[in-house]
Structure 1
Amino acid sequence: MGKKRTAKYKKHIGKAPGTLIYTGEKNSQQLFIESFDYNPDGFTEKELKNIEDVFGYKTSESITWININGLNHIEAIESAGAHYGLHPLILEDIVNTSQRPKIDEYEDYLFLSLKMLHLDANENVIIEQVSFVMGDRYVLTFQEAEGDVFDNVRERIRSGKGRIRGMGADYLLYALVDAIVDHYYVISEMLGNKIEDIEDTLFEGNVEDSMSIQILMLKKELLKVRRAIFPLREIISRIEKSESTLIDKKSIQFYRDVYDHVIQLSDNIDIFREMIWSLMDMYMTTISNRMNEVMKVLTIIATIFIPLTFIAGIYGMNFDHMPELHLKYGYYIVWIVMVAVFIAMVVYFKRKKWL
């Protein structure tokens, strides 16, 4: 029996549009909220206890990043969405962890849904959905659980290095998206290394029984990464071409840089995809060649013994008037003939390079 799969979409059947249903598997996740409120002169970092504590940041004169972990806390997300004026369909997409990466533009805010990828201790790809809501002077991020790829952004805000404190919410959104895309490179490099390792093993002829499973698992990982990366091209392209007043023209060039990275990653994924198909073909060819080698050896052995069996069969017949049977050295002569035939055939096969 295979692993039973959870039917996530069954939860939505018969529900009204905009109904919030958490489709993930981390139902015991604690609600964790952190805020970074900053301007060119300083910053404030807080761990908020209640969802109501985020409401005051909407009218803040500084730039605010509010990070909410725990998509299973539906009531808290509904409360935050109501205060910030988010559409119910946006809130539905936030708690739907199967949501395809997308962008929606509204008059007062932009909504982005992306896939954040990172590796576990065994170098397996972990996929987590991250949703962004960018307003005039704030960015809200919604994550399924604690642990993300934004530590570098946090350090830049704390230290004041770079231009992040002097820019607006659109640059903060860029910095967060760029952090996710940078980790795509880590995943891409890991996939490339795994493909090269399998390729080297196949070239060396060290084919294991589990090799086909390794290739299939690698193919599944690649498809998951591909589904996360490819929609990002359209998302960044729409931000570049957006006429929203929330995106400053100075920030467009940074989004173009992210777009270039996404295109490069997409090309890498396409190359890896072709390489994996080639790996499967190479694996099947290697298995076939190994089988052919076995059959060749068995065929040569059988061919060598055919004339020897023929000689033994002739002199195994029970006729009284076979002249050779009464020779004094007949037994030894037959052995000499059989050994000579054996040696002659081995020499012939070696000259033909069949052995």
Structure 2
Amino acid sequence: MKIRYVNQGVFTSLDHIEDTLTPPEEGFYWIDADVDDLAVLQPTFHMHDLAVEDCLSDEEQRPKLEIYESHYFIVVNSIRFDDEEIFLRAVNVFLGRHYIITVTKQKVNELRTLKPILWEQEVNSPDRFLYLLIDSIVDNYFTVGDRLEARIEKLEEDILMHTKKSHLNEIIGLRSEILWLKKGLGPQKEVINTLNKKDLRLIDDQLQKYFSDIYENAVKISETFDTYRDLMGNLREAYQSSISNRANEIMRVFTAITTVFMPLTLITGIYGMNFKNMPELDYEYSYFIVIGIIAALGITMYLIFRKKDWI
């Protein structure tokens, strides 16, 4: 657990949680904690039992905003894209009049990258901190969206160039991830919209209007994911079309080969008959003549098929 006093974006580390109980004349306190620290934080800040239970739960949390007497409890999902796999990590926020507490189970990049922004904008209130945190989390969805788009384009190129059976698994897996993200983004939009429109005493009225920009970005991201979902459907059709074309190409080659060998089989069949009086049976060069005819006929048919682009 890290305890910081923030004044005009400048951080001062504190050693004791008791130092945060008294509201400062200026600035606010930011407590960055993990779930194990809740045993100390809950009685100190009178956190609601249901909010603490949500933080400790192993199940995936739905984004939400809960209003309690002395604080708000807010859950938003941070997104991360590592090694071609997408993760959602819950950021639990307790917003008070003179403090903000962030509780996470894993490291969240947005909390680390937020520090220079706080210093640059000389942040001096916990509600402003909350705004910048949610804005950073939503902006990161655009970054992940760009990487998803690049992955879709590469997959489309691979399918068109050389279709593999593994491509179908990639299409199904990627489409499932997109639908999963789309499903989780809906409640997050609702939370942001609530922060924008609902009368909230712990958030400044002037600042509250800025949440509308974040909401518009969330809507754009949701629409982008809808587009990606449609693209995955197109990719699946392209995969199936490529497989069909490949099968047709193989059948065409087999048909051409069969056509080439049909007259050759006819010739060998005639000269394989065991009649006593066969023409050219005792001729010294009959075998070489037949082989030459077969070779010339096969090569001629092959060249004709190549010229017509049949094989």
Contact (CA 8 Å) 2:159, 2:167: kept in 1 or not? no
Contact (CA 8 Å) 2:138, 2:217: kept in 1 or not? yes
Cα distance between partner residues in 2 of 1:162 and 1:338: 86
Deviation (angstroms), 1:223: 3.9
Deviation (angstroms), 1:88: 1.2
Q: Paired residue for 1:302?
A: 258
CA deviations 1:124-165 (Å, max 9, x no partner) are 4343211112222322211113453123432233x3x32633
Q: Is 1:70 equivalent to 2:34 in the alignment?
A: yes
Cα distance between partner residues in 1 of 2:283 and 2:114: 99
Give unmatched runs, 5+ long, in structure 2: none
* Structure 2 CA distance for partners of 1:303 and 1:155, relative to 1, 3 Å: same
- 1:1-355 correspondence to structure 2 within 5 Å: 32-38=1-7, 40=8, 43-46=10-13, 48=15, 52-53=17-18, 55-57=20-22, 59-71=23-35, 73=36, 76-97=37-58, 98-120=60-82, 122=83, 124-157=85-118, 159=119, 161-162=120-121, 164-165=123-124, 168-203=125-160, 205-208=161-164, 210-323=166-279, 325=281, 330-355=286-311
Contact (CA 8 Å) 2:89, 2:108: kept in 1 or not? no
CA deviations 1:34-88 (Å, max 9, x no partner) are 32332x5x74421546xx446515x3443424333321x1xx4144233323321
Deviation (angstroms), 1:110: 2.3
Contact (CA 8 Å) 2:196, 2:210: kept in 1 or not? no
Counterpart code for 2:77? K
Deviation (angstroms), 1:257: 0.8
Cα distance between partner residues in 2 of 1:256 and 1:147: 24
Contact (CA 8 Å) 1:94, 1:113: kept in 2 or not? no
CA deviations 1:179-210 (Å, max 9, x no partner) are 1112222211111111111122223x133454
Contact (CA 8 Å) 1:69, 1:146: kept in 2 or not? no
Moved more, 92-101 or 260-269: 92-101
* Structure 2 CA distance for partners of 1:194 and 1:34, relative to 1, 3 Å: farther
CA deviations 1:256-296 (Å, max 9, x no partner) are 11011111111111111222232233233323323332222
TM-score normalized with structure 2 length: 0.86
Cα distance between partner residues in 1 of 2:84 and 2:305: 49
Cα distance between partner residues in 1 of 2:267 and 2:168: 47
Cα distance between partner residues in 2 of 1:48 and 1:281: 60
RMSD after superposition: 2.8
Contact (CA 8 Å) 1:34, 1:48: kept in 2 or not? yes
SS at match of 1:99: coil
Deviation (angstroms), 1:113: 0.7
* Structure 2 CA distance for partners of 1:144 and 1:349, relative to 1, 3 Å: same
Contact (CA 8 Å) 1:111, 1:133: kept in 2 or not? yes
Contact (CA 8 Å) 1:201, 1:207: kept in 2 or not? yes
Number of residues of Structure 1 aligned to a counterpart in Structure 2 = 310
Cα distance between partner residues in 1 of 2:253 and 2:112: 61
Cα distance between partner residues in 2 of 1:53 and 1:127: 33
Cα distance between partner residues in 2 of 1:152 and 1:349: 64
SS at match of 2:203: coil
* Structure 2 CA distance for partners of 1:119 and 1:320, relative to 1, 3 Å: same
Contact (CA 8 Å) 1:108, 1:135: kept in 2 or not? yes
Deviation (angstroms), 1:245: 2.0
TM-score normalized with structure 1 length: 0.76
Give the share of equivalent positions with the same residue, in percent: 28
Cα distance between partner residues in 1 of 2:280 and 2:209: 99
SS at match of 1:149: helix
* Structure 2 CA distance for partners of 1:47 and 1:213, relative to 1, 3 Å: farther
